[in-house]
Amino acid sequence: MRFVDEFRDPAAARLLLAAIEDMADPSAPDAEHFKFMEVCGGHTHTIYRHGLEHVLPRNVELVHGPGCPVCVIPMGRVDDAMWLAEQPDVIFTSFGDMMRVPGSKGSLLEAKARGADVRFVYSPLDALKLAVDNPTKKVVFFAVGFETTAPSTAVTLIRARELGVTNFSVFSNHVTIVPPLKAILDSPDMRLSGFLGPGHVSTVVGNRPYRFVPEVYGKPIVVAGFEPLDILASVAMLLRQIREGRCEVENQYGRVVREDGNPAALSLMAQVFELRPHFEWRGLGFISQSGLRLNADFAAWDTERLYDMPGIRVADPKACQCGEVLKGVLKPWECKVFGTACTPETPIGTCMVSPEGACAAYYNFGRMHRDAAQLVGQSGA
């Protein structure tokens, strides 16, 4: 398939791996240990799905970051979503991978099984169309995601206003990527060598917002794409910066990401959203200026203003260490409940739900001994 296969070329991968091996120099007597955080869940998914972890040198470690939009939604917000879904005449719409996220009283999938009208959509515009087609119903869209998905929510709201659709509203849970990165960099238990920066988010915000990473915190960052070769190329770029004594923002994903991002998308977001003073992240707690809500111009489409939701803050389950996993402090398998009490069928934490969650990615794809994995990798069935 064009635009996919050329980023999965094994010969190119071998060249990159040789370059990585060369720069990382794992057999040197004083071999440095490199610890790079891949910010996005999409990166994590690619790393495990393509078995990249086991082909990197042992002294190049990838740790998983907070950029999984489903993983960071706190329990209380899921409870509010379930409450909304159960209101009379409401059609509650959501992206597919929010459906299994557990709140304190189960998931949207279970609410649906109990009779709530919950539908999954591929775009907020589909939700708006449902509202137009069902004038006697009230359609609520469960908006989640970073700057990647926020512009499409903004477009939908502007369209709803143009069309004068009054039976449509948005339950905004949009978040921004820079505040959690700052929180991670401020955390004393993280000793990172650099970052694979968020690719999709950067298509909207551009590269400039990450300048504080090298300038304030002295860490290199390479905005990385999501194909296997993108990941390997970005790791090589980070190592090259370190070996050459540079520390800057670089863009590996230049085929998609522009320096200034997408000004049109940013302007749409500015028309619709405003920053919340603070927003709760699952496992990470409250982070100031990290969430987006609808501004006063769009009050008529703002679910939070239209419905008197319970809005009860629910503490994460005690056993759950999603916060530590999202911050990259713990590897998924280091969590106490990983793989036994918490599995994809019975998830306790969000990281086990979304395919982009580090725990789900590791459980579904990565759970192999390194020696067994290498045996499989080399044998020629």
128 CB contacts (<8 Å, ≥6 apart)? 139, 141, 156, 159, 160, 163, 165, 168
Least Å from the CB of residue 87 to other proteins: 20
* Nearest to other proteins of 19, 306 (CB atom): 19
- Which residues in the 264-283 window bind other proteins by CB under 8 A? none
- Which residues in the 163-202 window bind other proteins by CB under 8 A? 200
Least Å from the CB of residue 166 to other proteins: 23
Q: Does 121 engage in binding with other proteins (CB under 8 A)? A: yes
- Which residues in the 214-233 window bind other proteins by CB under 8 A? 228
> 154, 125 in Cβ contact below 8 A?
no
Q: Does 159 engage in binding with other proteins (CB under 8 A)? A: no
* Nearest to other proteins of 307, 363 (CB atom): 363
Q: Does 258 engage in binding with other proteins (CB under 8 A)? A: no
- Contact residue for other proteins among 20, 37, 42, 209 (CB under 8 A): 42
Q: Does 318 engage in binding with other proteins (CB under 8 A)? A: no
Count of residues that interact with other proteins, criterion CB under 8 A? 84
* Nearest to other proteins of 86, 110 (CB atom): 110
Q: Does 338 engage in binding with other proteins (CB under 8 A)? A: yes
Q: Does 122 engage in binding with other proteins (CB under 8 A)? A: yes
Starting at the edge strand found earlier in the chain, the sheet holding 90-94 runs 118-120, 90-94, 138-145, 168-174
Write the burial class of residue 2 (CB in 10 Å: 0-12 exposed, 13-18 middle, 19+ buried).
exposed
* Nearest to other proteins of 312, 372 (CB atom): 372
Q: Does 313 engage in binding with other proteins (CB under 8 A)? A: no
| Among the listed residues 174, 246, 241, 254, the one whose alpha carbon sits nearest the alpha carbon of residue 206 | 254
> 330, 351 in Cβ contact below 8 A?
no
Q: Does 377 engage in binding with other proteins (CB under 8 A)? A: yes
Q: Does 128 engage in binding with other proteins (CB under 8 A)? A: no
> 190, 100 in Cβ contact below 8 A?
no
> 269, 291 in Cβ contact below 8 A?
no
What distance in Å separates the CA atoms of residue 194 and residue 350, rounded to the nearest whole number?
25
Q: Does 110 engage in binding with other proteins (CB under 8 A)? A: yes
- Contact residue for other proteins among 6, 31, 263, 315 (CB under 8 A): 31
> 13, 229 in Cβ contact below 8 A?
yes
* Nearest to other proteins of 46, 307 (CB atom): 46
Q: Does 148 engage in binding with other proteins (CB under 8 A)? A: yes
Q: Does 243 engage in binding with other proteins (CB under 8 A)? A: no
Q: Does 324 engage in binding with other proteins (CB under 8 A)? A: no
Write the burial class of residue 264 (CB in 10 Å: 0-12 exposed, 13-18 middle, 19+ buried).
exposed
The stretches of the chain forming alpha helices (DSSP H) are 10-24, 41-49, 75-85, 108-113, 124-133, 150-163, 178-186, 199-205, 212-217, 228-243, 263-272, 303-306, 322-326, 358-361, 370-378
Q: Does 61 engage in binding with other proteins (CB under 8 A)? A: yes
For 329, which DSSP code? S
Q: Does 325 engage in binding with other proteins (CB under 8 A)? A: no
* Nearest to other proteins of 246, 367 (CB atom): 367
* The two structure tokens encoding residue 221: 């960052």
What distance in Å separates the CA atoms of residue 296 and residue 301, rounded to the nearest whole number?
10
Stretch that binds other proteins, among 113-121, 214-222, 248-256, 289-297 (CB under 8 A): 113-121
Of the chain, the end-to-end C-alpha distance in Å amounts to: 25
- Contact residue for other proteins among 6, 22, 33, 299 (CB under 8 A): 33
Q: Does 297 engage in binding with other proteins (CB under 8 A)? A: no
- Which residues in the 342-361 window bind other proteins by CB under 8 A? 344-346, 354-356
